[in-house]
Amino acid sequence: MKVNGFELRRVRMPLVAPFETSFGTQTERDVLLLRAAGPDAEGWGECVAMGSPLYSPEWVDGAAAVIREFLLPALVPAAAALTGPAVAEQLAKIKGHPMAKAAVEMAVLDAELRASGMALSSYLGAVRTRVAAGVSVGIMSSIGELLDAVAGYLDAGYVRIKLKIKPGWDLQPVRAVRERFGDDLLLQVDANTAYSLSDARQLARLDDFGLLLIEQPLPEDDLRGHAALAALLRTPVCLDESVTSARAAADAIALGACRVVNVKPGRVGGYLEARRVHDVCSAHGVPVWCGGMLETGIGRAANVALAALPGFTLPGDTSASDRYFDRDITAPFVLRDGHLDVPSGPGIGVEPDQAALDSVTTHSEWIGLE
CATH of the domain at 316: 3.20.20.120
C-alpha to C-alpha distance for 284 and 215, rounded to whole angstroms: 19
Considering the domain architecture, whether residues 103 and 233 belong to the same structural domain is answered as no
Which residue type, as a one-letter code, is found at position 159? Answer: V
C-alpha to C-alpha distance for 123 and 109, rounded to whole angstroms: 10
264 is catalytic: yes
User: Taking 90 as the threshold, does the pLDDT of residue 286 lie above it?
Assistant: yes
Considering the domain architecture, whether residues 48 and 111 belong to the same structural domain is answered as yes
User: Taking 90 as the threshold, does the pLDDT of residue 329 lie above it?
Assistant: yes
Pairing of strands 130-132, 134-137: unpaired
Confidence class for position 24, pLDDT limits 50, 70, 90: confident
Rounding to the nearest 10 degrees, give the CA dihedral for residues 277, 282, 288, 292: 30
Considering the domain architecture, whether residues 177 and 284 belong to the same structural domain is answered as yes
Note the pLDDT tens digit of each residue in 46-61.
999 999 998 999 999 9
3-class secondary-structure state, position 174: helix
pLDDT value at position 323?
94
Say which DSSP state 361 is in: E
Confidence class for position 20, pLDDT limits 50, 70, 90: confident
Considering the domain architecture, whether residues 127 and 112 belong to the same structural domain is answered as no
Q: Which residues form the domain of 329?
A: 122-341
Strand partners, 21: 24
| First and final C-alpha spacing in the chain | 14
Mean pLDDT, the chain, whole residue set: 96
C-alpha to C-alpha distance for 222 and 42, rounded to whole angstroms: 41
C-alpha to C-alpha distance for 330 and 326, rounded to whole angstroms: 12
Considering the domain architecture, whether residues 191 and 229 belong to the same structural domain is answered as yes
Half-sphere exposure of 195 (CA within 13 A, CB side): 26
Identify which has the larger pLDDT, 370 or 327.
Answer: 327
Say which DSSP state 206 is in: G
Considering the domain architecture, whether residues 89 and 127 belong to the same structural domain is answered as no
Sign of CA dihedral 139, 144, 149, 155: positive
Confidence class for position 25, pLDDT limits 50, 70, 90: confident
pLDDT value at position 370?
78
| Catalytic residue of the set 2, 93, 162, 164 | 164
pLDDT value at position 272?
98
C-alpha to C-alpha distance for 283 and 295, rounded to whole angstroms: 29
Considering the domain architecture, whether residues 108 and 248 belong to the same structural domain is answered as no
Pairing of strands 42-47, 24-37: antiparallel
Contacts with 196 (C-beta within 8 Å, 6 or more apart), sequence order: 218, 219, 225
CA distances from 128 to 1, 121, 260, 310 (A): 28, 9, 21, 8
Pairing of strands 5-21, 160-164: unpaired
pLDDT value at position 227?
98
User: Taking 90 as the threshold, does the pLDDT of residue 278 lie above it?
Assistant: yes
pLDDT value at position 48?
97
Considering the domain architecture, whether residues 100 and 29 belong to the same structural domain is answered as yes
Confidence class for position 1, pLDDT limits 50, 70, 90: confident
Length of the chain: 370
Confidence (pTM): 0.95
Considering the domain architecture, whether residues 143 and 101 belong to the same structural domain is answered as no
C-alpha to C-alpha distance for 229 and 206, rounded to whole angstroms: 13
Q: What b/e sequence results for 321-333 when a residue is b if at least 16 CB atoms lie within 10 Å of its CB, and e otherwise?
A: bebbbeebbbebb
Which residue type, as a one-letter code, is found at position 178? Answer: R
Neighbour tally for 67: CB within 10 Å: 24
Note the pLDDT tens digit of each residue in 191-219.
999 999 999 999 999 999 999 999 999 99
Task: Count the domains in the chain.
Answer: 2
164 is catalytic: yes
φ, ψ for residue 151, nearest 5 deg: -60, -40
Average pLDDT over residues 357-367: 97
* Nearest CA among 91, 58, 97 for reference residue 74: 91
Contacts with 152 (C-beta within 8 Å, 6 or more apart), sequence order: none
Considering the domain architecture, whether residues 164 and 108 belong to the same structural domain is answered as no
pLDDT value at position 211?
98
Half-sphere exposure of 239 (CA within 13 A, CB side): 33
Considering the domain architecture, whether residues 43 and 153 belong to the same structural domain is answered as no
Report the CATH number at residue 64.
3.30.390.10
Considering the domain architecture, whether residues 127 and 199 belong to the same structural domain is answered as yes
| Catalytic residue of the set 93, 95, 101, 264 | 264
pLDDT value at position 22?
81
Reduced to 3 DSSP states, what percent helix, strand and coil does the chain have, rounded to the nearest 5? 40, 25, 35
